[in-house]
Amino acid sequence: MAKDSLQRRRDFALGSGAELFYDTPLEIIRGEGAYLYDKDGRRYVDMYNNVPCVGHANPAIVQAMAEQQAIVNVHSRYLHEGIVTFAERLAGLNHDGIESVVFSCSGTEAVEVAIQMARIATGKRGLICTDATYHGNSELVGAMSYLGCPPNQTGDIRSFPFPERYRPLKEGLSDDELCEAYLAEVAAAVDSLKAEGAGVAALIMCSIFANEGVPDIPPGFMSKVTDLIHGEGGLVIADEVQSGYARTGRWWGYEATQFRPDIVVTGKPMGNGLPISATAARKDFVDAFRAEKDYFNTCASTPLQAAVGMAVLDEIERLDLPSHVADVGTRLTSELASRVDQHSTIGDVRGSGLFISIEMIKEGGIKEPDAALTMLLSDRLKDKGFLVSYSGKFNNVLKIRPPLVFSHADAEDFLGAFDECMGELGE
Amino acid sequence: MAKDSLQRRRDFALGSGAELFYDTPLEIIRGEGAYLYDKDGRRYVDMYNNVPCVGHANPAIVQAMAEQQAIVNVHSRYLHEGIVTFAERLAGLNHDGIESVVFSCSGTEAVEVAIQMARIATGKRGLICTDATYHGNSELVGAMSYLGCPPNQTGDIRSFPFPERYRPLKEGLSDDELCEAYLAEVAAAVDSLKAEGAGVAALIMCSIFANEGVPDIPPGFMSKVTDLIHGEGGLVIADEVQSGYARTGRWWGYEATQFRPDIVVTGKPMGNGLPISATAARKDFVDAFRAEKDYFNTCASTPLQAAVGMAVLDEIERLDLPSHVADVGTRLTSELASRVDQHSTIGDVRGSGLFISIEMIKEGGIKEPDAALTMLLSDRLKDKGFLVSYSGKFNNVLKIRPPLVFSHADAEDFLGAFDECMGELGE
């Protein structure tokens, strides 16, 4: 009753259609580490939330947040040691082509900055992204978000089929040939932009293609596509909002998939729940952006963002989360991969650290996506106390992306629940 | 030395051109109430910052922030009582045409939502704004930000001269005629958009034209322009990022300037430094937006935004800040206005609550803006321990916009310092 009433109030106060997870939505009232608790005190293993990367209610983050807010939290047009040090640390965690940082409050805002920066740095307008991606919700960034939508191939934006080996662009090709086939799609997008007079300002990609379902990328694609774009005078933007901050077992997704982006966009996990995002690049790109745009973001570059952002970095380092993630992620992925041969409805298991995808398909061996089964699995797992979601071009990829403090024991528990669900569903 | 070094590090880490206030930038390390302290322990009366509306380091806000972050802070696709209650309170503070709320993290994001919502609700594309405004920094919203730039009169956006009596569009008109003259400018923008086939989706205005310098608006303009836009099937968006939250001595700027907007955008003061923003409107507009856009904002609509946002509302109510602001603001504005006759370089004093503008002009009686004197005054006042800034179409408007807890005693002290500065500058 109470929940129905809250849901009705929510439908009015936030508008109908404000998304809720699961057939019966959860009312979450408490969190700790990798666990969330509903209003009846029931514990769930959180295998979805990447924002609370160092754990729900992490006391070091609470302390840093409260201490700084009690000292001062003001905009960035005064000098403050904190935000400078935070920017230095963030740039320093990247490859040596990344020097300076523009802070903002959301992934969308950081992508806006990245695109504006790329256009200023290159003097060109054209943007290239994949055909099953999401980079944010502003008018500009939303136009590059093709989840479930047919790609727009006019104006300044082109999409190309994301690179994958499970459902390859063409069958029967060697890895090298498949890589070339995807590169040819990008080259076609480049040609189309050039024909329209836009040229190529940037290719933007999530470094692990998270929304595309963390595909198995044909080897060499990432560095070759970077060369291709550079050859056209464009820049490569790595959207690290999901893939960064130790998610893959390395600091950055681009280390896992082996390329060197020109601009790095970071977001969700940066503040463990405090809105923080950043766009990092070579200093001359940032300088050119600042000279042209006079960019100011009121609640960004603040002492609060700095204190909390550095506390998150400190916790990742203190807990050695990159190693932990690599360890737990590799073992869990390998365990799940061993289920592929046991269940004809598990098409593929792929992962990068603690971002793991389980591709659900229909019987019959033709890799037909099964979105209904994926949704059902997600609900059943919730009933057993494990929170996952789904993604991918066909909504048939079970998405596992827990807080980085997710443990080996949590992984073991999940495997038991997953096997139970598959059994109960007769899969 | 230390400061120079910090500034050099900042120029590298954040890029050259990241704006700093004052000829010699301040290094602020602590705040309390309406006061900021630099690294040498010097106290400044903060007369600029509207974000810490209930005071720097307000302990009630610190407590709400820390408590909620220690309990849970997670995204909005689970049910949570807090965000629903916060949305209900926020809608309830508005007129009865405002029912539902979309939360986001920055003013820019909230304006993006408002524009997308207006376009969906009206089925039209055209946008109208003033010729000396700022609504945010995304590609779309930035295109409507004309501070210091010539207005763009092509595509989907038109600007019109902001309404004012100090530098009227035409001399020698009665108030009614002047009002009609400005309305004719808006009508011309409407016609131009219709001729281009865009139609009018929305007129967006700060409810007190804050960036324009808080002009003295010809009486009746706001309600008449609202009628004009409604007559064309468009919506009126009130940008309350600066004018809302008791800044004018009323809850909303649109109450002070007397019109009824269809969509209300709120931002800066909502979180006293925590990034929170909101777009509020009639439920059917919000529903239509959600149905079309499937909008999700990771760090918005969270338990943390709700807890801190409601703590800010509680503090505003507990301290009865609307009354306090009206009281202090009226007295300070009146005192400053009495200086107009004493100094030929003070062209005009205007105010709405604790948003006060002092228009600085050159000798000679032709209202020639004096941006250099305004900047000099701002620096001198800083040296005396009072932080102000400047704005307006000609950068000649001294901008007074303190935390709402700014006191009568602070105002008295400021008047003394202001008189001293004017004397020292020989004005």
One domain for residues B152 and B18: no
Whole-model pTM over 0.90: yes
- Cα–Cα–Cα angle for B14, B16, B21, rounded to 5 degrees: 85
Using DSSP, state whether B47 is helix, strand or coil: coil
One domain for residues B110 and B220: yes
Of A318, A350, A372, which residue constitutes the final position of a domain? A318
Chain B residue numbers touching A65 (CB-CB < 8 A): 65-66, 69
CA distance B94 to B140: 27
The nearest alpha carbon in chain A to B29 belongs to A72
Of B270, B287, B318, which residue constitutes the final position of a domain? B318
The nearest alpha carbon in chain B to A64 belongs to B66
Chain A residue numbers touching B295 (CB-CB < 8 A): 137
For A273, other C-beta atoms within 10 Å of its C-beta total 33
Tokens of B346: 């003070």
CA B302 to chain centre: 24
One domain for residues B285 and B174: yes
One domain for residues B37 and B92: no
Task: Name the percent of chain B in helix, strand, coil, to the closest 5.
Answer: 40, 20, 40
Residue with tokens 């010699």: B24
For residue A146, pLDDT beyond 80: no
Q: Cβ separation of B106 and A107 shorter than 8 Å? A: no
**For chain B, percent of residues with pLDDT exceeding 90:** 95
The most distant pair of C-alpha atoms in chain B lies apart, rounded to whole Å, by 64
Q: What is the pLDDT of residues A11-68, one digit of tens each?
A: 999 999 999 999 999 999 999 999 999 999 999 999 999 999 999 999 999 999 999 9
Tokens of B155: 């595509």
Chain B residue numbers touching A99 (CB-CB < 8 A): 12
Of A176, A256, A264, the C-alpha closest to A224 is: A176
Give the structural domain span for B142: 59-318
Interface test with B, best of A73, A111, A283, A382 (most B CBs within 10 A): A73
* CA dihedral of residues A72, A308, A388, A146 (deg, nearest 10): 80
One domain for residues B274 and B342: no
For B28, other C-beta atoms within 10 Å of its C-beta total 23
- The number of residues making up chain B comes to 427
Domain count of the fold of chain B = 2
One domain for residues A395 and A324: yes
pLDDT band at A2 (very low <50, low <70, confident <90, very high): low
One domain for residues B381 and B406: yes
One domain for residues A357 and A235: no
* Residue of higher predicted confidence among A146 and A236: A236
Q: What is the pLDDT of residues A70-89, one digit of tens each?
A: 999 999 999 999 999 999 99
- Cα–Cα–Cα angle for A110, A311, A271, rounded to 5 degrees: 30
* CATH number for the domain harbouring residue A8: 3.90.1150.10
Please report the pLDDT score of residue B1 as a whole number. Answer: 44
Please report the pLDDT score of residue A1 as a whole number. Answer: 44
Going by the DSSP 8-state scheme, the letter that residue B425 receives in this structure is T
One domain for residues A122 and A255: yes
Q: Is B166 on the interface with A (CB under 8 A)?
A: no
Please report the pLDDT score of residue A152 as a whole number. Answer: 57
Going by the DSSP 8-state scheme, the letter that residue A411 receives in this structure is H
One domain for residues B160 and B306: yes
Q: Which of A1-5, B10-14, B145-149 has the lowest mean pLDDT?
A: A1-5
Q: What is the pLDDT of residues A261-301, one digit of tens each?
A: 999 999 999 999 999 999 999 999 999 999 999 999 999 99
One domain for residues A71 and A201: yes
One domain for residues A404 and A369: yes
The nearest alpha carbon in chain A to B81 belongs to A6
Of A377, A385, A269, the C-alpha closest to A28 is: A385
Of A262, A289, A318, which residue constitutes the final position of a domain? A318
Chain B residue numbers touching A30 (CB-CB < 8 A): 71-72
Chain A residue numbers touching B59 (CB-CB < 8 A): 70
CA distance B322 to B269: 14
The nearest alpha carbon in chain B to A20 belongs to B77
Non-local (6+) Cβ contacts of A334 within 8 A are: none
Q: Cβ separation of B297 and A137 shorter than 8 Å? A: yes
Q: Which amino acid is at A85?
A: T
Asked whether B217 and B207 are in contact (CB, 8 A), the reply is no
* CATH number for the domain harbouring residue B172: 3.40.640.10
Going by the DSSP 8-state scheme, the letter that residue B162 receives in this structure is P
Q: Which amino acid is at B106?
A: S
Listing DSSP states for B352-390 in one string gives ETTEEEEEEB-TTSS--B-HHHHHHHHHHHHHTTEE-EE
